[in-house]
Amino acid sequence: MTPLRFLSSVLNPHAADPVKLPPGYRNGADWVPRIGDIFPDFEAETTLGPIRFHAWAEGRWTVLFSQPGAFTPVCSTELGSLAETAPELDRRGAQAIGLTPDPVGDLANWCADVAELFGAPIRFPMISDTGGAIARACGMTHPKESPDLPIRKTLILDPALHVRMIFEYPLRIGRGTDEILRVLDALQERDRLDVATPADWQPGDVLLVPSAFSDAEADARFGAGGWQPLRRYLRVLVPGAAESRVAGNRNSGPRLPRQR
């Protein structure tokens, strides 16, 4: 380190950090992303060239996933599965980006090999986090799983860069891409209609009145006949009630749910 850099680092110890963690994330223990946080910005090398993360991710839904390493069995199946799923992400206005601790050349060779093996081209970027600085700063490591490798973490970020969902899988267990799509659908439906989704919900299934709404608020939002209480604490929406309110068409009446 040059003397000038050393003097600057005394005044601002985090100036050289690759990830721009907001000061509020630094208090006490290591920061880990939580639902509602704005995911930190960083610069990185990827298989599709250098990126600044916020500029790359802002404006679309993003599935950011970390993996322990290239040319390994579980990671290869995950990469193949995400490559196959990429068109489904695209249909939802979403994009994927992966992260491993490998050099970018190794990542590019691995992507080409996995594409050949599973017959699905990897069109999304893979971040080369050699040294693991991004994984450590962004809570993608887990001391009990590995002292140095990133675990299988998946974060769904909304177009304003908020963390909306976090999945954490141990090193030996491959993640389920269907669940990523299901949660993406549920988050987008929640934002579009201001509703809640029940367990195992899929597009077209019944929706719930969020517990945060009183009955009067539910009437105001979904119409007096737009919801039914099964219990005081469990209120289901009549099919189409939320959509008709969003469309501003109060006279159209409920519509049938979409076929699955």
The closest of 241, 211, 213, 248 to 226, measured between CA atoms, is 241
Q: What minimum distance in Å lies between the beta carbon of 85 and ligand BEZ?
A: 18
Contact between 151 and ligand BEZ per CB under 6 A: no
Q: What minimum distance in Å lies between the beta carbon of 156 and ligand BEZ?
A: 22
Indicate the helix (H) or strand (E) that contains 55. helix 53-57
Contact between 80 and ligand BEZ per CB under 6 A: no
Find out whether 241 and 207 touch, Cβ atoms under 8 Å.
Answer: no
Which sign, positive or negative, has the C-alpha torsion 48, 54, 60, 66? positive
Q: How many CB atoms lie within 10 A of CB 222?
A: 24
Q: What minimum distance in Å lies between the beta carbon of 76 and ligand BEZ?
A: 7
Measured between alpha carbons, how far is residue 60 from residues 33, 121, 161, 188, 190 in Å? 19, 21, 9, 12, 16
Residue closer to ligand BEZ (CB basis): 68 or 223: 68
Restricting to residues 29-48, name those near ligand BEZ by CB under 6 A.
none
Q: Which of 19, 63, 70, 75 is catalytic?
A: 75
Stretch that binds ligand BEZ, among 50-58, 72-80, 187-195, 238-246 (CB under 6 A): 72-80
**Known catalytic membership, residue 75:** yes
Stretch that binds ligand BEZ, among 2-10, 64-72, 135-143, 195-203 (CB under 6 A): 64-72
Find out whether 155 and 127 touch, Cβ atoms under 8 Å.
Answer: no
Restricting to residues 158-197, name those near ligand BEZ by CB under 6 A.
171-172
Restricting to residues 87-146, name those near ligand BEZ by CB under 6 A.
none
Q: What minimum distance in Å lies between the beta carbon of 103 and ligand BEZ?
A: 16
- Which residue, chain included where needed, has tokens 């009549």? 238
Q: How many CB atoms lie within 10 A of CB 22?
A: 11
Nearest-angstrom CA–CA distance, 131 and 17 = 12
Contact between 239 and ligand BEZ per CB under 6 A: no
Residue closer to ligand BEZ (CB basis): 20 or 167: 167
Positions that interact with ligand BEZ (CB under 6 A): 68-69, 72-75, 149, 171-172
Annotated catalytic sites, by residue?
Answer: 75
